[in-house]
Amino acid sequence: MSDEASRSSKKDTQALHRRKSDASNIKPGMEVDAPEDDLGETDVSKPKVSDVARDEQGNVAKLVVKKGVLFKKKLEIPADRVESVDSRSGDVSPQGKVKVDVAPQEAQSLKASSKEEELPTEEQQGLLDETERVVPTHEGLRELEMARVSAEAKHSAPKSQDDQEQADQAPPVSKGKQLLRILGPGFLSGMAGNDSSAVTAYAVDGATSGYSHLWLMLLSTPLYQAIQYACAKIGRMSGQGFSTILREHYGRWLAVLATVALIITNVALIAADLVAIGSGLELIIHVSWVWFVVPVAVILWYITVYRNFESIKKIFIVLSLAFVTYIITAIFSRANWGAVLLNTFVPHLSFGFASISSAVALLGATFSPYSMFWQVQGEKEQKRPGSTKTQLRAARLDIASGVISGNLVAYFIIVCTSATIFIHHGQINTAADAAKALQPLLGPVASYLFAAGLIGSGLIAIPILLASTSYAVAGTFGWPGALSKKPWQNEGFYLILTVALVVSMALALLRFNPIQLIFWANVIAGILAPVMVALILLVGNNRKIMRGQRLGILTNVGLALALLILIAGAVLLFYGLATGRG
């Protein structure tokens, strides 16, 4: 044996003895630290040693580690994984701290949702499979996060010749996938992205104000494009969530302001979507919507937390696409197309309280704060090929296709309800009333299709609303936040999500008129949206955050105009309330 090998063996032996000596100092109550936060040690609840198991000779054999208060986990760590023991007490860890080594494969196993819930490894071939992958859902973002972690692990490992040959022999992309990639995820997500509360707000606007707000839909399209592109660019250039950016660069108080605005909006919208799903089920089963709120909330909590969503996600997406029938129905609704075109291109202003509140709800449904948070988070995780310029161009096209398709559906919802309900001086007081707008095309089947749309879009939207709330709060307080980790690893993140759902469920059970609750939830979104737009303007023009890629002139003009319109709408609404017109 060479001198070098002998010295190496001696060092290994000394390290082993040192580890054994350190392990003997481990006591219950000590905090456990692992590389890359694999045990969730930066979370609100800390992993701690609960017991120390010893062998027959009295040596430490393994540590029993427990983590979590609501989402609990018990781990057994062999003593040979202990790297060091710091028995000194401190403010952060009064009992001391144990540092352990976690292998990369073990870390990946910990981060997966569970063995029976791991992501499928087979290549998805169908167009619908590709569609459900790109439509923005909480599950889609979780997959992006996990793909990023997996890619980082693979990137750090040496690439074998077999891996290179497999990459060189990648299967050809089908024409369906090529078309979908040209359209980008934005187009289909825009079609499926109008959640049930937004659809109801558009329907109420058409039934209340007729065609007079169609110009707002036309104007809001480029403005919403500017907002969402600005959010995407912020996420792409910063690589951080929006509340984290605010906390690190402007102080926690500004992050708290944005987060509070988001929480208020999201809680109202989650409650509205729970009521909308219940109303859809009432149309089909003829049982009061109230009875469905709690079961739906519990099921969605389980889906969002434990990720049992894969097998039914495509069903929800197909159901949410039911609202696309409004485009076809408009042709059969006998709408006055001269009046439609006139109101689309010529602004019609009415300062009556009903018209103003309806316009604010329309803007709130279109410029919803949660979509801004979600766009930043989603673009941060989205993998796009090419240079930064190419990536931003692809993001712009994706967003444009989604904004146009989503607003197109909203536009024709207003046309339909105007031509079928407003023209006959009707009102929307129930989901059945809103479904009447589809009767020119579908007759008695209209209520069932409308119900399917409410249910599908609501079931997709609520997990997104919950997750965006958790991301915002976690980023504000510097807690770890990721859907790709298990609940026990990110307990604070999932506790926020749980509390938000419970509060929303309680609000839904106060038994307000369902349509009024949905309508005013979007009014609240419209009132608070200016806060988010102003912060996007601030962040997007910060050279340090944007790494020299600040927002362009057109985007800034679009954001400024959107901000002015939103503020004007909120001021007029409060003026109406103050003067007793509301």
* Dihedral over alpha carbons 9, 15, 16, 18 (to 10 degrees): 150
Of 48 and 109, more confident:
48
pLDDT of residue 390: 87
Does residue 139 have a pLDDT over 60? no
Does residue 173 have a pLDDT over 60? no
- Classify residue 80 as exposed, middle or buried by CB count within 10 Å of its CB (0-12, 13-18, 19+): middle
3-class SS of residue 3: helix
Closest CA to 220 of 382, 49, 361, 50: 361
DSSP string for 441-509: HHGGGHHHHHHHHHHHHHHHHHHHHHHHHHHHHHHHHT----TTS-TTTTHHHHHHHHHHHHHHHHHHT
The Cα-based distances of 331 to 198, 304, 495 in angstroms read 22, 39, 47
pLDDT of residue 182: 45
Does residue 508 have a pLDDT over 70? yes
Model confidence band, residue 113 (pLDDT cutoffs 50, 70, 90): very low
Compute the average pLDDT of residues 255-284.
Answer: 92
Compute the average pLDDT of residues 200-229.
Answer: 94
Single-letter amino acid code for the residue at 413:
I
Token representation of residue 511: 């038994």
What number of H helices and E strands is found in the chain?
Answer: 24, 6
- The phi, psi pair for 220, rounded to 5°, reads -70, -20
pLDDT of residue 126: 47
Structural domain boundaries of the chain? 15-106, 184-578
- Kind of pairing between the strands at 60-67 and 73-78: antiparallel
Query: SS in 3 state form for 160-183?
Result: CHHHHHHHHCCCCCCHHHHHHHHH
Compute the average pLDDT of residues 283-300.
Answer: 93
Helix 553-578 crosses helix 353-366 at what angle (to 10 degrees)? 140
pTM of the complete model beyond 0.75: yes
pLDDT of residue 229: 94
Model confidence band, residue 417 (pLDDT cutoffs 50, 70, 90): very high
Residue whose tokens read 């991301």: 471
pLDDT of residue 77: 82
pLDDT in tens, 230-247: 999 999 999 888 999 999
Same fold yes or no, 15-106 and 184-578? no
Percent of the residues in the chain that have a pLDDT greater than 90, as a whole number: 35
Model confidence band, residue 159 (pLDDT cutoffs 50, 70, 90): low
Compute the average pLDDT of residues 370-390.
Answer: 83
In whole angstroms, what is the distance from residue 3 CA to residue 114 CA? 48
pLDDT in tens, 516-565: 999 999 999 999 999 999 999 999 999 999 988 899 999 999 999 999 99
| Most confidently predicted of 59-68, 76-85, 200-209 | 200-209
Does residue 571 have a pLDDT over 80? yes
Length of the chain: 582
In whole angstroms, what is the distance from residue 374 CA to residue 269 CA? 15
In whole angstroms, what is the distance from residue 9 CA to residue 569 CA? 75
Q: Candidates 2.60.40.10, 3.90.180.10, 1.10.357.10, 1.20.1740.10; correct CATH number of 184-578?
A: 1.20.1740.10
Closest CA to 292 of 280, 301, 304, 302: 280
Of 141 and 311, more confident:
141
Compute the average pLDDT of residues 343-363.
Answer: 91
Average pLDDT over the chain, rounded to an integer:
80
Model confidence band, residue 506 (pLDDT cutoffs 50, 70, 90): very high
CATH topology of domain 15-106: SH3 type barrels. (2.30.30)
pLDDT of residue 304: 81
b/e 288-302 (16+ beta carbons within 10 angstroms → b): ebeebbeebbeebbe
Angle at the Cα of 395 from the Cα atoms of 389 and 397, rounded to 5 degrees: 105
pLDDT of residue 121: 36
- Kind of pairing between the strands at 97-100 and 31-33: parallel
Contact 446, 439 (CB under 8 A): yes
Closest CA to 207 of 349, 363, 362, 347: 362
Contact 370, 269 (CB under 8 A): yes
Does residue 421 have a pLDDT over 80? yes
Of 57 and 3, more confident:
57
Does residue 69 have a pLDDT over 60? yes
